[in-house]
Structure 1
Amino acid sequence: MPRLLLASNSPRRRQLLTDLGLPYEVRLKDVDESYPPDLHRADVAEYLAAHKASAYRTELLPGDVLLTADTIVCLDEQVLNKPTDETDAVRMLTLLQGRAHDVYTGVCLLTGEGQQVVFSDQTRVHFRPLSETEIRYYVQQYRPFDKAGAYGAQDWIGLVAVTRLEGSYFNVMGLPVHRVYAELEKLGFGVQAL
């Protein structure tokens, strides 16, 4: 029986995949998330998604499709990954407030037969100016330490700070589901397979 395997600990990615109505299993493994410093920012998310998938290559069975993803936030040429602590989260949000930035989510689909599809989606996010009090409130209440750029668009800060999106909202949440679904359909995992 073919299996869709999600290699992600993100509750948001799990929820989005569940919302697609496709059955899947979760597989978790610690994978180094460093990347070559000379990579262009648009390529970092795709590189990390493919790198994560390679850690599972020998474990896949025929018919399996593994899905890995990585989301990064870019302000100009600076990549903002997950904050290391509260101070780092405040620093990142201070940089982002009042400005527009780009969110890239890279996705890798790897089959048990060795076929690999790698792609990414980009969304431009506009933040209104935020006070230091608002930033500290968000960091202390929501503890966004598992989120690229130190924020979740579905959290309080998304409700009060995001003024406009150019692109997919779900991409900002961590999975460009419209693109993922289209690629999964090509691999036989769309609703027609249910």
Structure 2
Amino acid sequence: MGAYLSDLWDSAASGEQPTTKRKQHCPFCNNHGINRVKKGHVCEYKDCPCMLCQLTAKAQVTFRLQQARWRHQELEMAKNKLTSRQLCAKCRNHEKFSKKHGLKCEFADCNCALCLLTDKCRLVMKLQMRVRREKVTSEISKETDDDEDSNGHGGSQNDGETTAARSLGTSQPKWYRLCDKLCGKLCGSH
């Protein structure tokens, strides 16, 4: 601890900004609104049956497979003294190391196993972002409605649901229904 403080003091004296490593947080706990650091954490939601946790588990499996392949590829590139640079995922799958190909990738319509894995990975990320954005939007609208209620301006109390969802009598927030729908899409695309 003392060495860390002395490093901070030295960097402050020289005018440098101290660099701190960003701590990773548990994605399963994050799905349930709990912010816990991942290191040394045993997650109580690891086997959670909710759709968002299932989507997160699928994402982890997909990313793990892709990263294993890319790690092996980087070792091969190092042996052949090729420089590693940012590449299109599909070009990387086919070991095509062109500098930039713009918006058109020659493997855009490829249906090999690796490109299908890449497409699935992209779909998982797209669905996760859509669900998280909807969740944030519903929380903001809830806070806005709560502020209006506390100010006495009236308005209906909103628990993250849309007006249409309330009229249908559904109890889940919109982001949860969206996750359910998207996870069904993902599971159906095997």
Query: Taking structure 2 as the reference length, what is the TM-score of the superposition?
Result: 0.25
Q: Which has the higher strand share?
A: 1
Higher relative contact order (CA 8 A, sep 6+): 1
Q: Which has the higher helix share?
A: 2
Rg comparison, structure with higher value: 2
Query: Taking structure 1 as the reference length, what is the TM-score of the superposition?
Result: 0.25
